[in-house]
Amino acid sequence: MKRRCGIILFCILAAAQSVSAQTPPVPHDVIWDEDIVETGTRGIITAAGSIFSDLFTPMTHYRPGEWTVTLAPAYFQVSRISLEPVMKGKNLEGYGGGLGGGYAFNEHVMVYALAGGMKTAGNIAGRSDKLLLYKDFDAKVKFDIFAAYAGAGFDVFGGSKNWSMPIYVGAFTQKYDAELKFRPLNTKILDSIIGAFSYSSTIGVDVSGEDWLYGVSAGIALSRNFFDTVRITPYYIYSKGLRATSLHARAYEDIRVQGSVLIPFDRTTSFSHDHDVDIRSTDASVAGLCVSIISQKSWTFSLGIGTSLAAQVDAYSKSLGGLRMLSIALSVTYNGGRAPDSSAGDGAGAR
């Protein structure tokens, strides 16, 4: 009898090891969809670009020899990343800030430069009809980005006290560090086969990468002074990325076979598939609005609310791939190099 039980136990253990060792992994294209990774990454880059546009624009209402320095913090929440596929933000939020400046050669020509960084963290969730397993997906996101912009502008209304309309062109570079971890899918395939062992599978996808991007930008702002203390500036910025990039994705499956109290056995076999996901260059059109309070002591305080308002309009949101977000962008500008009685010319970030 003991010998017969021993033979049975041996057969069970052998079967468990065979199942663990020989079970083929689930094909990676069944587990995940490249479009999810690319769309999510491009959406976050677009959101970051929108925030940067709320923080900074070139000087307006400037005079010869005038210079500005602007400090600008920001906070934002993203409720939707894209429409195709539908990808929503879950506690997806971030903060950032930047430092910018400008210098006016005369009443028409100026140059500007600015640099800033942003951190984003939270989750994205959605649904993909392409997948057999990850139809409803949820991914934890960490995304850091640093950007630098520089360029020149020409004020069509140079010399006017109340009106300013700079048209500007420039270039930018961005460095990103991205990480997406999709929520593992746990499946118990067999449970307590003849009271001896259970068979389960854990499937997941991890995506990460960092790289430098660059491109060119152009824009226009129309600024109007009211009562020498309030300035309203609607603006439009178009940026075109000139470099594509990629992220590294690892799809994995851990197959675990466990025994029971009577038959102690625990073995995990792991399979993985590594793949590079191409991220196309990102183009963005951003419209916004800035409201500024001008003091008489060389300081200007501004609130950028354009991106938040515009992103609530369906037509504009679709032009950004479905992005929908709320943001608060403040800026403080010091204006130097001008006569005390001249109108404040406000610099990068303060419109």
Domain containing 80 equals 37-187+210-251+278-336
**Which residues are paired to 141 by β-bridges?**
122, 180
Contact 277, 250 (CB under 8 A): no
What is the rounded CA–CA span in Å between residue 98 and residue 223? 22
Is residue 19 domain-resident?
no
**For 82-105, what is each residue's pLDDT tens digit?**
888 888 999 999 898 889 999 999
- Length of the chain, in residues: 351
Phi, psi angles (nearest 5°) of residue 22:
-105, -15
For residue 134, is pLDDT > 70?
no
Is residue 83 domain-resident?
yes
**For 139-148, what is each residue's pLDDT tens digit?**
899 999 999 9
Exposure of 83 by Cβ count < 10 A (0-12 exposed, 13-18 middle, 19+ buried)?
middle
For residue 14, is pLDDT > 50?
no
All residues at 6 or more sequence positions from 112 whose CB lies less than 8 Å from its CB, including other chains: 56, 58, 59, 100, 101, 102, 103, 149, 150, 151, 152, 153, 168, 170, 347, 348
Is residue 134 domain-resident?
yes
Is residue 27 domain-resident?
no
**For 294-344, what is each residue's pLDDT tens digit?**
887 788 888 877 666 666 666 666 767 778 888 888 889 998 876 554 444
At residue 7, what is the residue type? I
Phi, psi angles (nearest 5°) of residue 235:
-155, 165
Is residue 23 domain-resident?
no
CATH assignment of the domain containing 315 = 2.40.160.20
At residue 83, what is the residue type? L
Q: Tell me how many domains the chain contains.
A: 1
pTM of the predicted protein model = 0.78
Is residue 157 domain-resident?
yes
25: confidence class by pLDDT, cuts 50, 70, 90 = low
Contact 290, 74 (CB under 8 A): no
